[in-house]
Structure 1
Amino acid sequence: MKNPAVVAGVGMVPFAKPGASAPYYDMGAEAARRALADAGLDYDKVQQAYVGYVYGDSTCGQRALYPVGMTGIPVVNVNNNCSTGSTALFLARQAVASGAADCVIALGFEQMKPGALGSYFDDRPTPFEAFDQVCNELVGHPDTPMAIRYFGGAGMAHMEKYGTRAETFAKIRAKASRHAVNNPVALFRKEVTVEDVMASPVLIGPMTRLMACPPTCGAAAAIVCSEAFARQHGLDARVTIIAQAMTTDTPSTFEARNMMQLVGSDMARAAADQVYEAAGIGPGDVDVVELHDCFATNELLTYEALGLAPEGGGEKMVEDGDNTYGGRVVTNPSGGLLSKGHPLGATGLAQCTELVQQLRGQAEARQVDGARVALQHNLGLGGACVVTMYQASWTGERHD
């Protein structure tokens, strides 16, 4: 990258159940203020803004940022389904790396309704027509909510191909709950056992209700700037984005006739490969990961797509405890989407917040010892996947 991008400030609000949160614009403004305060920066120094949300009218980004400051800067509204927050981060990093801007804010928020995800535009064709056709043919259950069919079907495909057990997915969910106990901004902080997960109501195939992330409201933000800007303004420059990639679907998504590909495993693998090549750092060098565990089944698939486990080796990674503290790489120390919650537009920036805190050594009871390299994976069906690699340096000024 021409100009390495520093993540100088991060902030998020505690996630909440639908109906229990502030309006989206209040959550967004508060997350932006927290990121600015973390950076020690006034809003009038920010030159561009990229604001992500899925459910909302156009220019909601302006509505959230105007209470923070009306400085006339470009505000770009972003929607890329569940990868919306990291798409905003991708654009912010790209603006800095290209030299188009010296300091940018990426903001994401979501004010969600209870229940399963659905379309708000029933008067026009859905972008999921081709996805739904394959899913209907491979999985059936057309009356089951879309995301449950997709990711439940992907879990069943992994079980059929590799002999993976349903209890393995339950172990991933139980692990998420243990991590979330130590996260004050997570939605669900109660620890659950494998038995609890298996005993919860079945949604489809191996998937039970506790293996699915809840609809959530929340907001998160990041201040991204150049190294020169950080030095000039005395900002914390310890955490840098050293590689990042965004990928979309290729023909294999549909031609493979496999639910694992339909939910983005090939997109994730391609993005991860690009990031490892650009960074010169492989999966074995990663200390901590925040990945898109919208369902416990997808966490296991993502281990393999990111190269954290070999193909078919996700179950062994879980059984060996290599996905948690004391293991090879700590995955989702925040509790992940399964426990922290999944406000679609905010998720990617909440992942960023967690990893920046980990690399600064500010994660308190969640801290991964010696964390220096962090990997982020954020997936949106339809489709887009963003993979980001962060590295810690102790040459920047410390704020803690």
Structure 2
Amino acid sequence: MGGVPSRLRPACPPLPSGLRAPLRVHGGDLRRGVPASGAARTGGTGTPPGRHRTSRDRPGRPRGPAGGAGRPPPDPPRGARRVTRRQRPARRLRGASSGSAARLGRARPAPWRRRGPRADPVRTRARHVRRNPRPLHGRRRPLSAASRSVYETAARLGVPLWLHVGHNLSPVSAVDTCTWRHIDVIARTHPDLTIICGHGGWPWVLETVAVCQRHPNVYLEFSTYRARHMALPGSGWEPLFAYGRTTIRDKVLFGSVEWAHGRSVGELAEEVASLDLPSSTVRRWLHDNAAAALTVPAGHESPGALAGRGGRCDPSRPPDAGARRPRRHRGRHAVAPLRQEPAMTTPIFVLGGEQSDFRDSWTTGGGGLHDLMAYTVAGALERTRLDPAAVQTAHVTNFAGEVFNHQAQLGGFVNRLYPEWADLPTSRHEAACASGSIGVLAAMAELQAGRYDCALVVGAEIMRHVGGQTAARRMGIAAWHEREVTDDRLPWPGQFSDIADAYAERHGLAYPHLARIAEVNLGNAKRNPRAQTRSWTFEPGAFTCDDTLNPVVAGMLRKQDCGRITDGAAAVVLAGEPFARRWARERGIALSSVARVRGWGHRGAPILLAEKLRLGATQKYLFPHLRRAITDAYARAGLAGPGDLDVIETHDCFTITEYVAIDHFGITEPGAAWQAVEDDVITREGRLPVNPSGGLIGLGHPVGATGVRMVLDAQRQVTGTAGDYQIDGATTAATLNIGGSFTTVVGFVIGT
């Protein structure tokens, strides 16, 4: 510190690694807390750290008291008199005449003579900026060339820009220096710039909210206002509370300003937490949205994040202590604590897709995998109104084409569907029943990496042309064949009956609860025009332990507990944000109404079922990795738990699969899934409908296509296009796709 006593050193804690603080343009001053690099950090080559380069630092000009590049003089003795620039006499060049004395640029004062804290680079930068033209000061308007250079620099550095939006009380600036109209233009001309509308644009809150809805790169911030005052009638903030919990709940930020209110950050955050808002919305406002805008690294928690979960802002408390219960599930349908995961910072949109009729047998008419894929892909392009040339990559998901159809290299089928696709990048994915979801994850990764803008995912399977016993044994290839597949029982009914036994041994299990799940899903399928079982009828007693109407298949599992494999395909079109924005604009729809992947979770486990059960033997949940996959998806989507969901599409290859999923979703405590079944929570009219499409039991299970179909059904639900099986008011849906004996588990949260 060059002799400055430690008690006088400024407190300037470093930002967490990866945290980018926004440039701040407020009434004409540019304040920034961004860690610089290279010459930007030091102010130029040869300029000491903590000082910006000025005209006195040009090559060939003297610098410092010695006029050279040597080290500065040592610190003066304690009590040395400070000399200001006004008191220093100007020096003359040797030999210059008195009438035309060429004055040297004033030498830089010694470090102990500079005003203010000598080692605070942030204040030094602020002083330097105040000596230069201010972006929004006086005649410097928000759309001027000087301001544009600031926007371009911030966009190039990837730094969010905070702009004073709304009434400007500065005596040297116009009242409407920067309003929502300016933000609309700036966001449109600088799409790569993240803009934070400071002060919420008040009193033009409704217009500012509209701009946030229109531009995905615009956020709204309200730090200068007290939350408890904003909630009062006539405050002008009504649009924020109306839209901040729905269409722009991912765009609202809370910035703490202790100096403005004389309150601690925790107190201000708790005022937000006490508002009449869902707990998931509070957490987004206080933490998750800022984490997305500022790229906060995983695991970094702010005091506001703790208040967002309903607890006091006490770092010593566990993260989920005192969490508020979600509104949809009170009482015994509680939510387990969540594990923090980074929010999705790159949105992926689901533009739409198509599904074949799962009742059709494609081999009966002489068709094959190629024909099934061609039909489904053509329907997906038609529903999304896209030309084939718009698709830049394709992913095919299939489980057992080699075993059932003697066919591999399925990506080549896609390449011959359209002339424009002759050299399209394609790939094929397999993860047993979770193949479809793995293909969706792969397409998302390519879009998020920026390789492509638009991707097609198509899953297809033809399995009905062989007998049931033969098909069941062929599907045993998804287990460890040498160790888990035997001749004395069918592979998967046997494996899942073992899962039912393990659950029953730990928590207890009554067959009527499993039968009720089958009855609900088969009933839902009657509303689905593409369901395999939509026209099936059942005798009274078909969902009981009647060995004639509902014979035993394996262990506790009976005929109605089993999903049916079938022929079928599903395709979805995914897109990154720039492509989705253009796509929505060309079709005259709002981007906020387009479904997007808000979160995802993916976990694996050893292939042997016995090993999975052993790993969970001492854990709270039967399959801990399944619970983690679900909570990962919740956390990435910013959800507190199942109370923030409107509908679930989950794997139910057997009824025990859905029964296990119920408590792993957090709908009930572990072992209490029977409560949700008995209380009809999972029915269409229940608090959280599960499998309104019919699920695998009612709709059908073309193995490699199931995960894609789930994403498509979730997209239909949140966009209101599911038809007769639509859940009214659904805006957030979750999917869970399981491969093998819970070996591969993938979940998505889809919403608008």
Q: Superposed, which structure 2 residues align to 1:176-195 within 5 Å?
A: 176-189=521-534, 190=536, 192=538, 195=541
Residue 514 of structure 2 corresponds to residue 169 of structure 1:
yes
What is the aligned partner in structure 2 of residue 196 from structure 1? 542
Equivalent of 2:597, from 231, 241, 248?
241
What is the aligned partner in structure 2 of residue 312 from structure 1? 671
Residue 751 of structure 2 corresponds to residue 391 of structure 1:
yes
In structure 2, distance between residues paired with 1:102 and 1:194: 53
Shift of 1:192: 4.0
With normalisation by structure 2, the TM-score equals 0.48
Query: How well do the aligned residues superpose, as a CA RMSD in angstroms?
Result: 2.6
In structure 2, distance between residues paired with 1:121 and 1:255: 18
Asked whether the equivalents of residues 241 and 388 of structure 1 are also in contact (C-alpha less than 8 Å), the reply is: yes
In structure 2, distance between residues paired with 1:106 and 1:269: 26
Matched residue pairs, number?
A: 381
Deviates more, 1:325-334 or 1:153-162: 153-162
In structure 1, distance between residues paired with 2:540 and 2:719: 32
In structure 2, distance between residues paired with 1:315 and 1:63: 45
What is the aligned partner in structure 1 of residue 467 from structure 2? 114
In structure 2, distance between residues paired with 1:375 and 1:30: 27
1:147 aligns to what SS in structure 2? helix
2:455 aligns to what SS in structure 1? strand
Shift of 1:379: 0.6
What is the aligned partner in structure 2 of residue 73 from structure 1? 424
1:85 aligns to what SS in structure 2? helix
Shift of 1:160: 2.8
Asked whether the equivalents of residues 29 and 65 of structure 1 are also in contact (C-alpha less than 8 Å), the reply is: no
Q: Tell me which of the two structures has the higher relative contact order, counting C-alpha pairs closer than 8 angstroms and 6 or more residues apart.
A: 1
What is the aligned partner in structure 1 of residue 628 from structure 2? 270
**Inter-CA distance 248–318: structure 2 relative to 1 (3 Å threshold):** same
Q: Superposed, which structure 2 residues align to 1:284-323 within 5 Å?
A: 284-323=643-682
In structure 1, distance between residues paired with 2:521 and 2:721: 20
Deviates more, 1:329-338 or 1:190-199: 190-199
2:473 aligns to what SS in structure 1? coil
Shift of 1:118: 2.9
**Inter-CA distance 257–359: structure 2 relative to 1 (3 Å threshold):** closer
What is the aligned partner in structure 1 of residue 348 from structure 2? 5
In structure 1, distance between residues paired with 2:661 and 2:475: 29
Asked whether the equivalents of residues 260 and 301 of structure 1 are also in contact (C-alpha less than 8 Å), the reply is: no
In structure 2, distance between residues paired with 1:251 and 1:345: 18
Asked whether the equivalents of residues 2 and 97 of structure 1 are also in contact (C-alpha less than 8 Å), the reply is: no
Residue 522 of structure 2 corresponds to residue 208 of structure 1:
no
1:379 aligns to what SS in structure 2? strand
Residue 346 of structure 2 corresponds to residue 25 of structure 1:
no
Shift of 1:307: 1.6
Greater share of strand residues, 1 or 2?
Answer: 1
Residue 316 of structure 1 aligns with an amino acid whose one-letter code is: Q
2:670 aligns to what SS in structure 1? coil
Shift of 1:42: 0.9
What is the aligned partner in structure 2 of residue 42 from structure 1? 387
In structure 1, distance between residues paired with 2:737 and 2:476: 24
Shift of 1:177: 1.0
In structure 2, distance between residues paired with 1:63 and 1:221: 14
Asked whether the equivalents of residues 601 and 631 of structure 2 are also in contact (C-alpha less than 8 Å), the reply is: no
Residue 480 of structure 2 corresponds to residue 128 of structure 1:
yes
Asked whether the equivalents of residues 479 and 607 of structure 2 are also in contact (C-alpha less than 8 Å), the reply is: no
Asked whether the equivalents of residues 359 and 533 of structure 2 are also in contact (C-alpha less than 8 Å), the reply is: no
Aligned residues: percent identity? 27
Q: Superposed, which structure 2 residues align to 1:335-350 within 5 Å?
A: 335-350=694-709
Shift of 1:384: 1.3
Residue 715 of structure 2 corresponds to residue 356 of structure 1:
yes
Q: Deviations over 1:195-227 (max 9, x none)?
A: 213331111222111110112110000000012
In structure 2, distance between residues paired with 1:88 and 1:108: 8
Bigger radius of gyration, 1 or 2?
Answer: 2
Shift of 1:159: 2.4
Greater share of helix residues, 1 or 2?
Answer: 1
Gaps of 5+ in 1: 134-140, 393-400
What is the aligned partner in structure 1 of residue 451 from structure 2? 100
In structure 2, distance between residues paired with 1:252 and 1:146: 12
In structure 1, distance between residues paired with 2:616 and 2:512: 19
In structure 2, distance between residues paired with 1:295 and 1:94: 31
Asked whether the equivalents of residues 181 and 191 of structure 1 are also in contact (C-alpha less than 8 Å), the reply is: no
